[in-house]
């Protein structure tokens, strides 16, 4: 007879296998339940089977497949159902562990928010809350990086305009010869202004790079929180 472990306990076993078995990452990823257009599951037995398959896929590093199976459980179970709660946690974990460029951070955060709202006594609620805090930090870092990136682009365009104007002015003075010292002084002042603008631009660029680094650090916190707490 098969003894069914609770989803949370089984998830701890799965994650232990994931962290200790590098060989499990070999092999091409299988199609996800979403890609195959899998219909909703019918009955508790199918739901539990899908959860076991999702856990196995997660342990083998097939995060796309795991995410699809967990989503299938979510769509097949009502709010408050124990298996739904386990699947929501699995969705967040699978999405977070996917490679950069493939992960759906918004979906992972949404799954954690539903867990926090619908399962206030979930045994992993502290990890869920910590994960949500990390995702909020991630969102703030991304927004700030975007804002600074726009400012850097604006400053870059301004610096290019100043450089072009400076080159044009220098060419005119060269044609006119050593005409007046005040024009030379004006040119030097404009050059100094340009250097200041470029300096500020570099500082902005450094700030953007720091913010982008914060974004990656925030995502690593999410991973550590979800994996370490399961």
Residues 167-215: tens digit of each pLDDT: 787 777 676 665 556 666 676 777 778 778 777 777 877 777 777 777 7
> What are the angstrom distances between the C-alpha of 199 and each of 24, 27, 67, 150?
50, 50, 46, 17
Nearest to 70 by CA among 125, 10, 136, 1: 10
What HEC string does 26-58 produce? CCCCCCCCCCCCCCCCCCHHHHHHHHHHHHHHH
Confidence of residue 2 (pLDDT cuts 50, 70, 90): very low
Burial of 171 by CB count in 10 Å (0-12 exposed, 13-18 middle, 19+ buried)? exposed
Per-residue pLDDT, averaged over 219-225, amounts to 74
Cα separation, 62 vs 24, in Å, equals 9
Instruction: Report whether 67 contacts 102 (CB < 8 A).
Output: no
pLDDT value of position 177: 63
Cα separation, 35 vs 60, in Å, equals 19
Q: What's the pTM?
A: 0.59
pLDDT tens-digit readout, 100-137: 888 898 999 999 999 999 888 887 888 888 888 888 88
Q: Where are the domains of the chain?
A: 7-123, 139-227
Cα separation, 131 vs 189, in Å, equals 52
pLDDT tens-digit readout, 53-98: 999 999 999 999 999 999 999 999 998 899 999 999 999 999 989 9
Cα separation, 68 vs 3, in Å, equals 25
Q: Which tokens go with 127?
A: 């990890």
């Amino acid at each position: 007879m098969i003894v069914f472990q609770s989803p949370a306990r089984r998830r701890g076993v799965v994650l232990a296998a994931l962290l200790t078995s590098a060989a499990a990452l070999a092999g091409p990823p299988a199609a996800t339940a979403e890609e195959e257009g899998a219909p909703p599951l019918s009955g508790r037995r199918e739901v539990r089977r899908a959860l076991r398959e999702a856990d196995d896929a997660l342990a083998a590093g097939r995060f796309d497949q795991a995410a699809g199976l967990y989503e299938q459980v979510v769509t097949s179970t009502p709010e408050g159902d124990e298996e739904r709660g386990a699947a929501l946690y699995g969705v967040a974990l699978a999405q977070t562990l996917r490679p950069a460029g493939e992960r759906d951070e918004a979906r992972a955060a949404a799954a954690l928010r539903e867990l926090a709202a619908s399962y206030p006594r979930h045994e992993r609620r502290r990890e869920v809350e910590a994960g949500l805090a990390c995702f909020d930090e991630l969102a703030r870092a991304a927004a700030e990086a975007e804002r600074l990136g726009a400012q850097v682009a604006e400053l870059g365009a301004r610096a290019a305009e100043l450089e072009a104007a400076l080159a044009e002015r220098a060419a005119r003075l060269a044609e006119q010869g050593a005409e007046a010292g005040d024009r030379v002084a004006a040119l030097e002042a404009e050059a100094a202004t340009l250097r200041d603008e470029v300096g500020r631009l570099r500082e902005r660029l450094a700030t953007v790079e720091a913010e982008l680094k914060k974004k990656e650090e925030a995502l690593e916190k999410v991973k550590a929180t979800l994996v370490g707490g399961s």
